[in-house]
A and B are shown apart, each in its own frame.
Chain A
Amino acid sequence: MAPMDDPTVIATRFATITRKMVNDAAQVAIDAFDKINKTGGSTYTAADAIESMTTLAGIAISGGSALARIPLQIQPDNGPMVVADEVAAVITLALTDATAVARDAAEKINDGTFRANWVDSAVALTGMAVLRAAEAAEAIGAGPGVLGDPRKAFPYTINGVNLTDQLVLKMASPLARPDVADEDIARLVRFDPDGGVLKAGRGNSDFSLTINCAGIPSGIYLGQVEVLKTDGTQAIPPIKVTLNL
């Protein structure tokens, strides 16, 4: 038997649980279809609908909890925890979708256009379960291994300054995509050398700014780097920066 922390065993366990969620959810729809399309007329009732929904919820709960337990059974590291977090996010999204469907139904009831279209309901709900489960499976399969490095570095050279002067770099606000209201990611900028301090007597005036762009929209961001003397006055006019994040 493979050791408990064998990644293949872990991945297989994730996949098995997720597959069971998908199959179980599909069976709910199949049962509903059978009742709805029964020869002689539908026998699908409101009670059946409740059962379908609670069964789907049960699938999400049991599957989600089983997935969440797995990190406990293995050597913990960041990888599985990131995956568990993503699975939790995916299940949350699925529930949000289900809520949207229900809210829409409630609106239709209120305006008198409600119809007992159980086929559509079953298909939509099962579709959500299956699709979101597929996303969960993808997250599990992909894991953190293919996560892109969100850090991007941009090198610059300052011209027209004296190497014997100490300089301090400061990212001016805003650093943003042009004409985007209230956007400013200047606080995410980190300088190299540390703190943006170019010490007196250095060999050159090179620096780079680094941004961890996780969680921000991709785009061309425009801004300015201020080059200050130790007394806070500007050594040279600000350097314009164009960052493709």
Chain B
Amino acid sequence: MLNLLQSQLAFYGAIDDAVVHAQQGGGENSDEVLRTVEAMLPGTTGFGQAGWYRELEDFANRPGVRTSDVPVTFPSLTDSLAYLAAPTAASREQVAVAAFQGNLDPEREKLAEHVSGSYFPDGDPVLARCAYAAMVLEQITQLGGLPPTLTTHQDAPTQIMANAINAWGGSTKKLTDHAVKSNKRVQRLLTQSGAVHSRENWHSLATKEVTKKFADQSLPCFGTLVDVNGQYCSTIYTDATDDTLSVDDIEKIIDPTNWSLCCKFFCNVAAQAPPYTARGWSRILETIGPDCSEWCLKTALVFYYGSDSGSGSIFINYDLDPNRQSDSGLVEVDNGYIWITPTNGTDPSQSGVQIRTSKQERVQGLSPTATSALGCLLGWGDAAYELLGGTAKKILDGTISANLQPFQETPPAGYQSQTGSGGAQPPAAGARPTLPPNFADAVNDARDLLNNLINRTRDVTADAANRWMDGMTREDVKEITEGIGTNLEEFALDVYQTAENNVKPQMTKE
């Protein structure tokens, strides 16, 4: 069901749609649109990068990810604009139900945003990121780059910017159309967006017009590729500060089992059974998604909680649980840290805190760009930002009643009696279909042959390329290429023959 995270994603999805449109040569200034978006959202406009929004929608419908009976459809820009403009829990739910266009299960658990007193918008980083999307959309609009499906939304940047800033400031009052259009600050932010050529430009502008905290939170992080054990992972770093909270404050809420109270992307984070590894790391099952009754990922993780009394800091390390109990089996890499340090000396009780995070992630079948969207736009990778938001502060000051799990250093006392040798093996990804008898042997052989082939091709290619650099002619290269081709064909025939030899052409029937 429609919510703030999905609405924010729809705004960035509109940018992605414009990029795809520009890549196809659409719009008046397609090259300029691509340059602008790449500067504002690095790594989102290249080959294999643009189109991440629809890729994510496909991913949400994969077996093992989708949890609803009906196909997941990401919200329209119209619905998302209406949702952002809804100032109260009741009105947000009304918009969400209308967008759903169906009968909702009355037993369905409501999102915090739809329950009065459970969500406070002030300082919500999702709203700040909405404003950033508005600025980029405004630039695209000014360049005439909106795709035909969005040309009726010329005023979308104004609506997004006005409502996002209004709510980020803590207001629960609905803005009138007049207030949206006549807000001087919104006008200044949008009219000056044409002069924003970098993320730094925007940060300066947003700091001047709103606050530094707003500017900090508005910049979506972006992933860089890092090679981990032969696989390229998306890696996200974040760095946030707050002058009003202390390390001791954050310590009260930092345990991951508390995150679902204030971080919208974390539907449930719960201890596994047994709760500890043999070395005392906490075993936790993380269930994430913008609305887990529609789609979600379950990942079994292990957490280490540490501290450094010398610097007054605390930290959390996490990694995949070697025993992937109750796990979706789709996350191939997920590790990182959350490091909380005081900004004023080494006293953790003093106000002023810095939270630095890192997250390496790789999801099977999901491109690094779409994976980064999960981390940077939906909040998988920067939950720390939401720990500094209004809802977290209301939990800390007791306005929202919650039974917080305290920070307990690893290994906790007596953990040895609560460890186990493990349960199920890691599940295979997605569905578990069936194949003909003995086909496993055939595929095993084919795999070995093909691995050999691929490695051989790569090595031969590298060798040939090196020789070319030493002065080979193009004719030499052509001959080498043809030789490799012949070699490949022979290998391919071997693969086919091996497969056929291994398969018994009978099917086992019930």
Interface residues of A (CB under 8 A from B): 11, 14-15, 45-47, 49-50, 53-54, 57-58, 60-62, 64-65, 68-69, 71-73, 76, 81, 84-86, 88-89, 91-93, 95-106, 108-109, 114-117, 120-121, 123-125, 127-128, 131-132, 134-135, 137-143, 146-148, 150, 177-181, 214-220, 222, 240, 242, 244-245
Contacts and interface: CB of A to CB of B under 8 A. Distances in A.
Contacts of A128: 365
23 contacts: A14-B47, A54-B499, A57-B446, A61-B453, A69-B481, A69-B485, A72-B480, A76-B469, A96-B447, A99-B440, A101-B428, A103-B440, A104-B433, A109-B508, A121-B433, A123-B433, A140-B48, A142-B225, A178-B317, A215-B229, A216-B228, A218-B358, A220-B339
Contacts of B507: 45-46, 116
A72 B444 CA distance: 30
Nearest to A55: B496
B378 to A, nearest CB: 19
State the majority secondary structure of interface residues on A: helix
Interface in B24-57: 42-43, 46-49, 55
Nearest to A181: B279
Contact of A105 (B43, B230, B365, B434): B434
B356 interface: yes
Contacts of A180: 279
B150 interface: no
Q: Report the 7 A-B pairs with minimum CB-CB distance, sorted nearest first.
A: A141-B48, A141-B47, A148-B224, A131-B365, A120-B433, A105-B435, A76-B465
A179 B410 contact: yes
Interface residues on B, range: 35 or more
B317 to A, nearest CB: 4
B411 interface: yes
B281 interface: yes
B315 interface: yes
A242 B435 CA distance: 51
B468 A72 contact: yes
A115 B224 CA distance: 44
B484 interface: yes
Interface stretch (B240-248, B343-351, B455-463): B455-463
Interface in B455-507: 455, 457-458, 461-462, 464-466, 468-469, 477, 480-481, 484-485, 488, 491-492, 495-496, 499-500, 503, 505-507
Contacts of A127: 62, 365, 430
Interface of B: 42-43, 46-49, 55, 62, 224-232, 235, 279-281, 304, 306, 308, 310-311, 313, 315, 317-319, 335-337, 339, 356, 358-360, 364-365, 367-369, 410-411, 428-440, 442-444, 446-447, 450-451, 453-455, 457-458, 461-462, 464-466, 468-469, 477, 480-481, 484-485, 488, 491-492, 495-496, 499-500, 503, 505-510
B306 A220 contact: yes
B435 A101 contact: yes
Given A50-B503, A72-B464, A72-B481, A88 B455 contact: yes
A68 B458 contact: yes
Given A15-B47, A54-B496, A121-B435, A146 B224 contact: yes
Contact of B446 (A14, A73, A95): A95
Nearest to B311: A242
A97 B461 contact: no
A31 to B, nearest CB: 17
B337 A57 contact: no
B469 to A, nearest CB: 6
Contacts of B488: 61, 65
A106 B439 contact: yes
Contacts of A69: 461, 481, 484-485
A127 to B, nearest CB: 7
A244 B458 contact: no
Pick from B235, B317, B443, B491 the residue with the most CB of A within 10 Å.
Answer: B443
Contacts of B492: 57-58, 61-62
A99 B442 CA distance: 9
A140 B229 CA distance: 19
A193 B310 CA distance: 27
Given A95-B446, A109-B508, A140-B47, A244 B358 contact: yes
Contacts of B450: 57, 60-61, 64, 91-92, 95
Contacts of B368: 138, 142
Contacts of A218: 235, 335-337, 358-360
Contacts of A11: 47
A177 B71 CA distance: 42
Contact of B444 (A86, A102, A109, A179): A102
A130 B68 CA distance: 24
Contacts of B485: 65, 69
A95 B447 contact: yes
Contacts of A108: 434
B443 A53 contact: yes
Contact of B317 (A104, A114, A220): A220
Pick from B49, B62, B339, B465 the residue with the most CB of A within 10 Å.
Answer: B465
A110 B433 CA distance: 15
Nearest to A132: B365
A148 B437 contact: no
Contact of B436 (A71, A105, A215, A216): A105
A91 B440 CA distance: 18
Contact of B428 (A53, A73, A104, A217): A104
Contacts of A142: 43, 46, 48-49, 225, 232, 368-369
A141 B505 contact: no
A240 B433 contact: no
Contacts of B318: 219
